[in-house]
Amino acid sequence: MVLASDSRGTFGDPRGITAQNDNMRKLYPLSKYVGVVLAGSGELGATIMNELQQEIQNAVPPIEGVTPVMNFVRNILIKRFSEWFSGFAVAPVQGVSVPARPTLVLIIGGYEVDSQSVPTEQKIYSLNCHQNFAPMLHDYGFGLNGIVQYALYLLNRLYMPDLNVEKLLPLGTYVITETASQDGKVGGPVQLMKILPDEGCVPLKEEDIKKILQDNNFRSEKLRQSFLGERENA
């Protein structure tokens, strides 16, 4: 399994002047076999993640497996949002003056584990503050949050269930950089993490991501040449 994100935070109404910060952390390990990608309020997400990582690390008995971790995360999110945003609307309502909760969406992915802590089935869940963090299972191979339109189109065209991690890493990177090329709310350094049944969560180093970006540039050029060549020979 692969988790991927950009690093851009956008401040202000996107219909007007905005500011950007390309140093937002959006990708975190939660346990050995489970990671999370955040979208929405970066600072709020960082506060939540600081608590969650400590709670999961210190839990007795240990919490492992994507569904138990998701349920633990969900309970903390519901508790904190009820505490911090009591009286706020769960989701924005047009024409209503009551303020709505700030946006925070999580994609939680990883392995279930058996009674011997051996990784088994892969699962992906999303938790969205505007649905009161109801668990949503992505049973079609991938999950998206944030600016999803371009990535969804590309994954519908390119994703296949039998792709291994070495294929998923460039694909995850590609859908982010292509989205960034079309929408200014996405950008900054790509963040990548692979989750392996033998090693667990493995964040990729900057030099490894740079190599993937270079290889993707080569793939894009080959794609362009294939279309131009077909036109010339038609």
DSSP assignments along 83-133, one per residue = HHSTTSBSS--TT--SPBPPPEEEEEEEEEE-TTS-EEEEEEEEEEGGGTT
What local confidence, expressed as pLDDT, does residue 123 receive?
98
- Asked if the structure places residue 221 within a domain, the reply is no
Check pLDDT > 80 for residue 232.
no
- For the question of whether the overall pTM of this predicted structure is more than 0.75, the answer is yes
CA 124 – CA 145 distance, rounded (Å)? 12
Residue 124: CATH number of its domain:
3.60.20.10
- Asked if the structure places residue 228 within a domain, the reply is no
- Match 């649905």 to its residue by tokens: 131
Average pLDDT, the chain: 93
Query: Virtual CA dihedral for 223, 225, 228, 234, nearest 10 degrees?
Result: -90
- Asked if the structure places residue 30 within a domain, the reply is yes
Which neighbouring-strand residues pair with 39?
A: 105
Model confidence pLDDT, tens digit, residues 57-90: 999 999 999 999 999 999 999 999 999 999 999 9
Model confidence pLDDT, tens digit, residues 94-121: 877 789 999 999 999 999 999 999 999 9
What domain count does the chain have? 1
What local confidence, expressed as pLDDT, does residue 16 receive?
67
Check pLDDT > 90 for residue 229.
no
Domain containing residue 184: 2-204
- Asked if the structure places residue 209 within a domain, the reply is no
